[in-house]
């Protein structure tokens, strides 16, 4: 048994793969926001804002890959874990600079952007944190510090930058500021703080687990902060982490229980729940049910309330909307089917009447259609000097009598000028052939 334990311990042992000096140097080099890093951050923010504005996931991912926002957060965790006061101060200062630059750049973009989406789904996705965001930030932060610390470098940091999604919430805060939308601002800020706190916490725990060397008391850098301040900062990070995790779990459980309750009571008698909405709050959470069909009976409501209590949902938390219901007494299945059949018959009759009217119009159009091809060939046979025939149907307006009459106009082209006798002969023949006395022959040049 001990042999297997030793094998497993050797398999998961990572301390031999940690390069403390390289990790320390890499994190210190990436926390500063000046020069190129500021420009890169601003560009990444604008790219992410464009991606959010057009609901383009690939663009958002690209922005997260080039963003340098992970540096100060990893520095915060490392500074706490190694009790390095100067590193901790620099990380907090540069973290604040990063947040300010990001929010200003995104706010400016959304203020100037002419595009306003009807359904900004990617922006909305950054305003409602879940337990999954907590887990992603925690394990993402652990993977980030492990990748930074190990001797053989890989591509983990890129994946961590995408998974933890620090950029989109910052851009969404800017969107909320530009639109004065406090829902977007509050939700996105909450998500960003969750990601930041849990990445920093995971980094701190990993630094302690990997046994990074703690700075000695006589080290100049250690004099930046006292032991009491380290304790205060750790409490400030850990307590909100615990509170956030508990709150997110509660919200997630409430939504799951609400969805399960709706699923079990989708159909109640001759009523059905066609939609529902959950409103989570630390004071009182509610679930709104939108019902169609018949009005819910008191019996069905009691069954619903009793089953809801099994999920920890009290009757005062359930709001039923019956705007789409109808009130009918002694309505049986046969009457419902009869009503459906009668409605269907009426619809069929309306459709049949429309078809008959359309067919009549088509027949009238066919009757009025001028057989231009036949008429032209008949004219050519009688008068070989004709080279082209164009016949159209139009309207003639008599301005004196204010009357409108239908008129057929024939444009005739001959190989030589048409005389009056030929003109009158063609016109008389067309009136007979087309059964229309209002025919006008015009010689086309």
Cα–Cα distance, 280 to 278 (Å, whole number): 6
237 to each of 214, 230, 362, how far by Cα in Å?
Answer: 20, 11, 78
Hey, where are the domains in the chain?
2-225, 253-326, 332-369, 372-443
pLDDT (mean) for 52-62: 75
pLDDT of residue 216: 63
CATH pick for 253-326 out of 3.50.30, 3.40.1710, 3.30.300, 1.10.3470: 3.30.300
Alpha-carbon span 255 to 262, nearest angstrom: 11
The verdict on domain 372-443 having CATH code 2.40.37.20 is no
The pLDDT score that the predictor gives to residue 331 is 47
What pLDDT, on the 0 to 100 scale, is given for residue 165?
67
CA dist 77 and 183 (Å) reads: 30
Residue 193 has pLDDT above 50, yes or no: yes
**Mean of pLDDT values over 303-314:** 86
Q: What is the pLDDT of residue 234?
A: 67
**pLDDT per residue as tens digits for the range 80-101:** 888 788 888 888 888 888 888 8
Tell whether the model's pLDDT for residue 387 goes beyond 50. Answer: yes
Across the chain, mean pLDDT equals: 76
Would you say residue 221 has pLDDT above 70?
no
Mean predicted confidence (pLDDT) in 335-340: 56
Multiple choice CATH, 2-225, 2.60.40, 1.20.120, 1.20.1080, 3.40.50: 1.20.1080
Task: Give the pLDDT mean for 32-55.
Answer: 78
The pLDDT score that the predictor gives to residue 153 is 62
Residues, the chain, total?
Answer: 445
Which of the residue ranges 94-103, 290-299, 343-352 has the most confident prediction, judged by mean pLDDT? Answer: 94-103
CA angle 362, 363, 364 (to 5 degrees): 90
Contact of 200 with 76, CB cutoff 8 Å: yes
The pTM of the full predicted model, rounded to 2 decimals, is 0.56
Q: pLDDT band for position 324 (50/70/90)?
A: low
What is the per-residue pLDDT for 399? 67
Q: What is the pLDDT of residue 330?
A: 47
Contact assessment for residue 85 and residue 222, using Cβ atoms and an 8 Å cutoff: yes
* pLDDT value of position 348: 82
> Quick check: do 2-225 and 253-326 share a fold?
no
More confident residue, 153 or 384: 384
The pLDDT tens digits of the residues spanning 234-283 come to 677 677 667 767 777 788 888 888 888 888 888 877 777 878 888 887 77
Cα separation, 141 vs 146, in Å, equals 9
Mean of pLDDT values over 425-442? 84
Instruction: Tell me which residue of 79, 22, 28 sits closest to 207, measured CA to CA.
Output: 79
Q: What pLDDT score does 123 carry?
A: 57
Q: What is the pLDDT of residue 385?
A: 85
């Amino acid at each position: 048994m001990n042999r297997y334990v030793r094998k497993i311990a050797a398999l998961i042992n990572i301390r031999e793969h940690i390069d403390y000096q390289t990790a320390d140097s890499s994190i210190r080099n990436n926390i500063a926001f000046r020069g190129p890093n500021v420009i890169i951050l601003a560009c990444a923010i604008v790219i992410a804002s464009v991606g959010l504005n057009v609901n383009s996931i690939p663009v958002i991912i690209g922005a997260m890959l080039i963003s340098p926002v992970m540096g100060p957060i990893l520095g915060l965790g490392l500074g706490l874990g190694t009790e390095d006061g100067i590193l901790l101060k620099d990380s907090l200062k540069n973290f604040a600079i990063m947040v300010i630059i990001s929010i200003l750049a995104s706010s400016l973009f959304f203020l100037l952007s002419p595009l306003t989406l009807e359904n900004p789904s990617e922006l909305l996705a950054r305003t409602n944190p879940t337990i999954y965001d907590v887990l992603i930030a925690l394990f993402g932060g652990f993977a980030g510090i492990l990748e930074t610390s190990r001797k053989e470098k890989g591509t983990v940091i890129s994946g961590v930058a995408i998974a933890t999604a620090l950029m989109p919430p910052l851009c969404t805060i800017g969107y909320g500021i530009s639109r004065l939308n406090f829902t977007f601002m509050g939700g996105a800020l909450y998500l960003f703080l969750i990601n930041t706190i849990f990445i920093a916490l995971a980094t701190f725990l990993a630094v302690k687990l990997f046994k990074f060397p703690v700075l000695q008391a006589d080290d100049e850098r250690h004099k930046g902060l006292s032991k009491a301040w380290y304790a205060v900062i750790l409490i400030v990070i850990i307590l909100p982490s615990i509170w956030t995790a508990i709150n997110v779990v509660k919200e997630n459980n409430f939504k799951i229980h609400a969805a399960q309750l709706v699923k079990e009571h989708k159909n109640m008698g001759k009523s059905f729940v066609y939609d529902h909405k959950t409103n989570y709050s630390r004071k009182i959470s509610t679930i709104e049910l939108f019902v169609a069909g018949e009005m819910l009976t008191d019996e069905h409501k009691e069954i619903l309330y009793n089953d809801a209590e099994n999920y920890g949902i009290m009757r005062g938390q359930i709001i039923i909307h019956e705007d789409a219901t109808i009130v009918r007494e002694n309505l049986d299945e046969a009457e419902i089917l009869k009503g459906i059949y009668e409605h269907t018959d009426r619809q069929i009759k309306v459709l049949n009447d429309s078809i008959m009217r359309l067919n009549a119009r088509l027949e009238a159009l066919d009757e009025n259609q001028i057989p231009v091809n036949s008429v032209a060939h008949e004219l050519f046979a009688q008068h070989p000097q004709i080279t082209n025939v164009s016949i159209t149907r139009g309207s003639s307006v008599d301005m004196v009598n204010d009357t409108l009459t239908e008129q057929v106009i024939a444009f005739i082209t001959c190989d030589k000028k048409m005389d009056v006798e030929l003109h009158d002969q063609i016109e008389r023949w067309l009136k007979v052939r087309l059964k229309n006395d209002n025919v006008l022959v015009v010689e086309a040049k």
